[in-house]
Structure 1
């Protein structure tokens, strides 16, 4: 590894444009890793970005640590590429560990790079463009500037729209798309969803927002009318009892408390919703049920038990959706209140129903019976 170490000492400096580490030896590690120089408080560090599935993990490393980290990574990868103002290099590592290094001069097109740590983020909603509902919700000023204290709200809205952007190919554009938003609250995201799908993307949409707070629903309807959002309506109602539609294309449920999420998911499945976006909250149900003699030394700690139960709840929800023919991802969301409740379950209907034997074994192991399982399969455990 001495040859690699010398190479890294040569190129890991302010002249570096980027290092790309790729071709992993197994699927458990990130698909690729990028390394670039940045200035943080006038100190040169190297920002590493690990791309795993659809997530990116960042960390900043000082030069010595970055060199050692790259050497460690190369035990799991077969290729490294360096682009620098000083030159270019390619490193190939064979199955037997043979290292091949090829270097050449940097092309004339390689210029000084931007070392700023915070590059301008490209948002789906332009932060410099005035949007009426963002102004009324206090996220933008009347001049169309993002209110500093509301930037987290703006980032959350855009993050949510990114999730929707990913599933656009699943939504029909030749007919009206029906979307249900359960527990819509003040409807930051509901208005953003309508604005994005209808105004920016041209989808013929009908969005129904549902919440228990009558005053909030009244205000949301007033705003929808003010903006001319004819396809956006809000109603007072309970998730479990709502029967206002027969078929739905997409169901959204954000921070529905405890088993309210299960009722929303149950409705979505029975409606045959093509897409489900759910951010669960307050997963108390399984915390009261979970029991396993083997794990008792761990479960005796209340905080650990609570977090394990919350993760188990959402994992089982995802598995139940999978058994109903959904392709499911569990993604990280940006929470408006800065709580740990930042998991988003995204399901896209892709195929036929599957056997749920595996996740039922997990239920049996932990001694739990989630509400979604009961709603979908009945108390006798048989398909309805």
Structure 2
């Protein structure tokens, strides 16, 4: 029996005996350029055991579920010189490593397993939280948990929202410059749920030196949050009274965040970040009145005007156009942008999150973006975008 067949046989036996934990395929040499790895686990779906494949691409993940026999056959097919040249099988007793040599021979080695508990078979396995709801002072004072660290029933959705927010930001935060003090501004901090959680994550999980300022126009909330920060011994966290438009950072800025800033307040926040050369800008806009008024005023005739006579379609178009132009304007100023959905909590609509990471840009690319902005404005009858004016 050759090593390739032996590996597949060992995989089948591990599944049959209940020892299988997971499998990964790597060192891909196939035709799908964006495909990086495949991860396989055993799940139960409608009371049937199935193999769940996660295809890890450069910018996305795709999950497919197979009957066990079909899944094993698929793994056997995927292992080859024109597909995946490496495979690792994890069981409760051994880890098996398979590598295809340059001579076309599969080399196998084994190690004793370090897995101490049975793998979960739940298809919808709960995600590990970036923050733990333990007996932290700020969680108690914000009325998220009791003294024992148990999340109050009526705050479960808020706690999920906070962790979802940290989960989204985590990879970007870890990519920020090392060996320097991080300076973060959270515009429109409100009661500070997310601001406190961000400080906790950066300081206590990532072990970063950080100064965070939460900006809020309601003086009573600013006073409350500063008291909680002091009692929680969060020395690098403070709150300042003011609006997004009026606030000016005292020194350099690494991260600017503005969630749910209404209409042009989002533009004020983006402009603040760009002017201060922030490494990372994160905004979740709400209300898009300025561009909607421009579209209504312009009444330009184009291929989409039959849609824009309906109020709800006009509202959605104004949202996409506003945030699309924001992304282009950020790119013009050297930011690599991403736009995706952010679920604020279980009982409110999904929001768009616009993220910009500071990069370099040349004048030729700026000229292309400038032309695209002008063409887009002309097509929809928009005379100006507020962020464009702010940035000159």
Q: Same fold (TM over 0.5)?
A: yes
How many angstroms apart in 1 are the aligned matches of 2:87 and 2:309? 51
Shift in alpha-carbon separation, 1:55–1:288, aligned structure 2, 3 A: farther
From 337, 341, 360, the counterpart of 1:351: 360
Q: Secondary structure at the match of 2:83?
A: strand
Residue number in structure 2 paired with 1:309: 318
The answer to whether 1:371 aligns with 2:386 is yes
Q: How does 1:83-102 map to 2 (within 5 A)?
A: none
How many angstroms apart in 1 are the aligned matches of 2:332 and 2:145? 43
Q: Shift of the alpha carbon at 1:235?
A: 2.3
From 315, 326, 338, the counterpart of 2:335: 326
How many angstroms apart in 2 are the aligned matches of 1:139 and 1:52? 37
The answer to whether 1:63 aligns with 2:67 is yes
Residue number in structure 2 paired with 1:145: 150
Conserved in 1, the CA contact under 8 Å of 2:343 and 2:349?
Answer: no
Residue number in structure 2 paired with 1:206: 211
Shift in alpha-carbon separation, 1:200–1:83, aligned structure 2, 3 A: closer
The answer to whether 1:79 aligns with 2:79 is no
288-297 or 111-120: bigger deviation:
111-120
From 101, 121, 124, the counterpart of 2:127: 121
How many angstroms apart in 1 are the aligned matches of 2:242 and 2:381? 33
Q: Secondary structure at the match of 2:135?
A: coil
Conserved in 2, the CA contact under 8 Å of 1:44 and 1:62?
Answer: no
Residue number in structure 2 paired with 1:231: 236
Q: Secondary structure at the match of 1:239?
A: coil
299-308 or 108-117: bigger deviation:
108-117
How many residues align structurally? 354
- Per the normalisation by structure 2, the TM-score is 0.73
Conserved in 2, the CA contact under 8 Å of 1:83 and 1:106?
Answer: no
How many angstroms apart in 1 are the aligned matches of 2:55 and 2:317? 26
Q: How does 1:139-288 map to 2 (within 5 A)?
A: 139-162=144-167, 163-171=169-177, 173-175=179-181, 177-243=182-248, 245=250, 247-288=252-293
Shift in alpha-carbon separation, 1:48–1:297, aligned structure 2, 3 A: farther
How many angstroms apart in 2 are the aligned matches of 1:236 and 1:252? 16
Q: Shift of the alpha carbon at 1:148?
A: 4.5
Q: Shift of the alpha carbon at 1:292?
A: 5.1
Runs (5+) with no aligned partner, structure 1: 1-6, 93-100, 378-384
Q: Shift of the alpha carbon at 1:191?
A: 0.7
341-350 or 37-46: bigger deviation:
37-46
Q: Shift of the alpha carbon at 1:211?
A: 1.7
Q: Secondary structure at the match of 2:151?
A: coil
How many angstroms apart in 2 are the aligned matches of 1:246 and 1:106? 55
Q: Shift of the alpha carbon at 1:62?
A: 6.5
How many angstroms apart in 2 are the aligned matches of 1:30 and 1:148? 41
How many angstroms apart in 2 are the aligned matches of 1:104 and 1:205? 48
Q: How does 1:3-22 map to 2 (within 5 A)?
A: 15=16, 17-18=22-23, 20=25
Q: Shift of the alpha carbon at 1:143?
A: 0.5
Runs (5+) with no aligned partner, structure 2: 1-7
Q: Shift of the alpha carbon at 1:225?
A: 2.0
How many angstroms apart in 1 are the aligned matches of 2:159 and 2:288? 26
- Per the normalisation by structure 1, the TM-score is 0.74
How many angstroms apart in 1 are the aligned matches of 2:159 and 2:252? 31
Q: Deviations over 1:276-307 (max 9, x none)?
A: 12122223333333455111233344333333
